[in-house]
Structure 1
Amino acid sequence: MTVKSNIYQALYRLDLFLRRQPGPLILSYHSLSASGWKYAVPLACFQAHIRLLLSTGWKPVSLGEINRYYSQKLSLPRLCFAVTFDDGFTSVLQAKKFLHRYRIRPALFSARLNHGLTGVRFVLLRGPAGKSAATVSPTRISAA
């Protein structure tokens, strides 16, 4: 090994030693489709994302658990993730069995413009298990 590679190895190990807990990861999707739309992800690609996380030790948690992690200091696995789907596209239903198999409880949001009001209002939809994970407003996330 060269001096340079030894330095890089030492810095890498020091970084691992000093690194703080990474905190929860939130994966946010819009639509599951191979349509080519810039906000769509093919179902197979979405499944590959989840399988990669699971195979490398990441654990699924709900958005409500992440909220409690920050608000009540709830303990979470060191490597954890939640899945959200914005805009309530029905294509998300394609993933229902897959999500259920891996015990992933996504948060599903439907955006609706309110007539006469500015901005967007978020409304929670029911997840695959019929349970809601959280409610969302423009200013905060709270467990349902």
Structure 2
Amino acid sequence: MYRTECHTSKLTESETMYPHQHRISQQYRQTQVMTADPLQLVIMAYDLAIVGCQERNLLKVTSALDALKDALNHEEGGQVAANLLSLYLYLADEARSGNFEQVGEFLRELRQTWATARQQIILQPEESPVLEMAA
């Protein structure tokens, strides 16, 4: 779900001073992504977008929103997927306008909703069509 070319950013001071730790951190994140279930990937994309809003990093926010748009399953998700697409487009426009606080609030609420849905699926996996919609 993540596109690595969209996640390039400037190295922080600690990353340049401790490149070995930065490399280990990157490997850990890569392992997290490779072993995550579809809903975990959605939540990770929200986390990235939220951090982007906190940093006022438009590229990070729009890259995460692009990943969320690309992950939508319009066949299984129907109107819900269409509504999410519209919302992601709106949030990207708001971020481009510099409204990072508003976008971040929306994203935090949406992230919490997906995290709650994932918890419910873990507790009752046989009754959850949401997992297929997220993929």
Give the alignment's TM-score, normalised by structure 1: 0.24
Q: Quick check: which one's strand share is greater? A: 1
Q: Quick check: which one's helix share is greater? A: 2
Structure having the higher Rg:
1
